[in-house]
Chains A and B, each alone.
Chain A
Amino acid sequence: MAEYKYTPADFKSDQIVKWCPGCGDHAILNAVQRAMPEVADALDIPHNKFTFVSGIGCSSRFIYYMKTFGFHTIHGRAAAIATGIKVANPDLSVWVCTGDGDSLAIGGNHFIHAIRRNIDLNMILFNNEIYGLTKGQYSPTTKLGKITKTSPAGTVEKPFNPGELVIGAKGTFFARTIDAEVMLTKDCLVAAAKHKGMAVVEALVNCVIFNDKTHAAFAGDKATRTKNTITLRHGEKMLFGEGNAKGLVLENMQLKAVTVGEDGYTIDDILTHDAHCVDTTLHSMLAAMKHPDLPVAIGVIRDVKDEQVYDVKVAEQVEQLKASAKLHSVDDLLNSGETWMIE
């Protein structure tokens, strides 16, 4: 453990934050600036190694507000650009900020492939279920039937659940948080940083202007969240609700919310969260839980160790091949193979 003793202020740039008042993105910025000092100390990463990369969207403006290295790129491509950065210099702590449109529509291809490769990036996916910057068109996470500017009669396409997508793409880390839960967000970010490999943190954020209250049914105020979400912690029972009275059990291959002590369910029946479990079945089910049928899962849902980390493997191959190489320079290369002399 290093002792840089940074403060959130060390990560605040001089730019005026221009998101709408009340936009959920503010809270994520707050949480990130609190998480960075902790990450720096926990992983011995000096300030100058933090690099933030984003695509295009309201949320992608994020990088301008961080006093770190930053690259605001083009729509959908942040994951690909970050991949290049990380492979070029694996020493950097690379953070990707992206919206639901940015990463799941135009950037869907890069999203799944970055996850599949398990490159050591930390991605914050700002999911407001809408295109904010372009003023309110539906996105790949917008609820079915939602009326937006481009779906005046309601959408006729089903949304993605990012968690299912991450796990389906062989993701090794997935966490979900809610804008208002700043401390949970911070904890998820620190856990993401500690995870070696691709880490996706889905932040459910509220777009007050174009999709207000989209998450409110379960994420609205503290009491609603207590009732309708479950905070998963590795090694702990899956309990939620007022006084942790409720819990999750697995019955007939399905998750079910029960009240401890009712209908014959005891605390022993309640599942214990194992974020490190390689098998994806339960993690997928947890990520897929939907209000109002089940509580929405927040916290670190999946955090699995996997040696196959892309940037590490690329660097290893280079080092191994350098060590056993016959060619050591371009002159060697030019003179390799079949050559002949003209006298």
Chain B
Amino acid sequence: MENFNAKEVKDVVIRFSGDSGDGMQLTGTLFSNTSALIGNGISTFPDYPAEIRAPQGTVAGVSGFQVHIGSGNVTNPGDYCDALIAMNPAALKANRKWLKPDATVIIDGDTLTEDNVKKAGFETLDPIAELGLEGYNVVIPDITTMTKAALADMGLDNKTVVKCKNMFALGICFYIFNQSEDYAKRYIDSKFAKKNPAVAEANKLAIDAGYNYAANTHQFANTYKVAAAPLQKGKYRSINGNVATAWGFIAAAEKAGLPLFCGSYPITPATVILEELAKHKELGVKTVQAEDEIAGICTSIGAAFAGNFAVTTTSGPGLSLKSEALGLAVMAELPLVVVDVQRGGPSTGLPTKTEQSDLMQALYGRNGECPVVVIAASSPSDCFHYAYMASKIAMEHMTPVVLLTDGFIANGSEPWRIPTMADYPSICPPIVEEAPAEGEFMPYARGENLARGWAFPGKEGLEHRIGGLEKDHIKGSISYDPANHQEMTKTRAAKVAKVVEVIPDLEVMGAADADVLVVGWGGTKGHLQSAVSDMQAEGKSIAHLHLNYLNPLPHNTEDMLKGHKRIVICELNEGQLASYLRQNFQDIRFEQYNKVEGQPFTVVELKEKFNSLL
């Protein structure tokens, strides 16, 4: 079924959108995995409502999945789309603003009933005109009717048949984007063939029907082809940020030779990390679904004391609940990684939307002088790397580490070249193996990196007591001595500061003396990189600096910030990194570009902003 009129394009962005129950996440995933198999660069992002089943047919109930495929390095799921697949008028309405000017819009004609159009909140009965879509390539196939016709002979009930309409839409997309149906069919077989062969057959037939419809109608005169990206050779898989985070911890525990423990409480968008860890008991992972976030971190602190590598996972509101206990971990100087998958705040905020507004909470949100290491991941797949590094630092430096990710990279996925554990650095925590030959064990005696010894209960001769009260700088017994408190406060800070010795220097993408330096941190990396590299290609004097290690900041941070006419800090908050950098580098002038709409930056708006600075 090769299509010879295909137009080669560098990249395309496709958005699948429908009711939460329409199976759009699966449709999008099958499309993106198919593209991955032919070697496209890919980035995807699901966009779903907070309610599990918001009222059918309403804009609030629309669930979307965006796929960006390209023949180059794809760093983000794209902002505006080339094709929108809308399974109902609400989906059309919700996504109108994300259409590129010449986009193809496919909407299921069967759903354009008076009832549905009203439910979607249209004022007239002509949604196409009302949304001003006349200039667009709008195609209105009767997807439901055609799916029913294609499956008429299967003897299935109406509900099952109608459920296959997403596969019909997928078939259309396979034709338009010149992709093979093989992978999707194999997937369907692996999922349904055993349990329900008729359903598997129906889904596969629906894909064929959609494909054939698209090939036969003249409405898709243009089809597109995206060449394989020049990806590094190797074995790839697709991974999302939450799974990558979970795997990073499992990897670190294996490397350290310790069991992994996770005490946690479910919260969007972090829950998948706990779910993923719970799946891997076979690798020695123990999970405790605690009664609340406080118990989540507390069970983890207990496990760390007892000699497991312990993590706790949460989102902003949960981090608030964990703050007192995090202080205990600082005081007790135990290794612990706390993951905050940031979401829109404050309070319950926007649970399913992304934001970067917990930086200050991570850096400072505790009583007392209470430093912790703060690290942020910046893409779905690098969550693995930063989870691993956070773990290594926590264990080797005997300190809590807060790992910040966000809803965008946690849910987004991308192809990932599978690493080999042999290539990852060793993890050697300062475990105390035996009692000192002479005298008592001193729990707060320190090594060169200022980490104290980790002495597990159960080891003979190492009996010792620790706790949240200030303690003597060597013996660990309670101490109210003023000079000791001063010394311990400084030591805890110095221990965290010393982590700078093991983190990599920053590298600027672009010229060291570019006129404009764009600074970001965490999950905005893909969009910032795209915008800056586009502008560099246009010959603009612009560079990009991205931070992953936030406390301590890398050695050369100040050097990297110097030598530019203007520096703009871009964040999905009201300027938290900006305040932090101003506090650290008081002679440097920083400008800000901020957004808190619960959405990632768009490359378009970033370029517009950066151009205004040049």
Q: Which residues of A contact B (CB under 8 A)?
A: 13, 15, 46-49, 51, 53, 56, 63-64, 66-74, 77, 80-89, 91-92, 109-110, 113, 314, 317-318, 321-322, 324-331, 333-335, 337-343
Contact = CB atoms under 8 A, between A and B. Distances in A.
Interface in B232-275: 232-238, 247, 250-251, 254, 259, 261, 263
Contacts of B464: 69-70
Interface string B210-234: 0000000000000000001001111
Contact of B234 (A49, A56, A87, A341): A341
B295 A89 contact: no
Contact of B235 (A64, A82, A91, A340): A340
A62 B461 CA distance: 20
A88 B421 contact: no
How would you classify the secondary structure of chain B's contact residues: helix, strand, loop or mixed? mixed
A84 B463 contact: no
Interface in B450-474: 456-469
B150 interface: no
Interface stretch (B196-204, B284-292, B549-557): B284-292
A77 B295 contact: yes
Contacts of A80: 263, 290-291, 294-295, 298-299, 302
Contacts of B290: 80, 83, 113
B411 interface: no
A340 B298 contact: no
Given A80-B290, A85-B305, A338 B237 contact: yes
A81 B305 contact: yes
Given A74-B468, A84-B263, 19 more contacts: A48-B458, A48-B459, A64-B465, A71-B302, A71-B332, A83-B302, A88-B306, A89-B457, A318-B282, A318-B286, A327-B282, A327-B283, A330-B251, A334-B247, A337-B237, A339-B235, A339-B236, A340-B236, A343-B233
Nearest to B295: A80
Contacts of A109: 291-292, 295
A74 B331 CA distance: 11
B478 interface: yes
B33 interface: yes
A141 to B, nearest CB: 21
B328 A338 contact: no
Contacts of B288: 83-84, 87, 314
B515 interface: no
B377 interface: no
A48 B302 contact: no
B610 to A, nearest CB: 32
A317 B284 CA distance: 10
Contacts of A66: 465
B264 to A, nearest CB: 12
B301 A81 contact: yes
Given A110-B295, A341-B235, A48 B462 contact: yes
Contact of A322 (B284, B291, B294, B300): B284
Nearest to A60: B467
Contacts of A53: 302
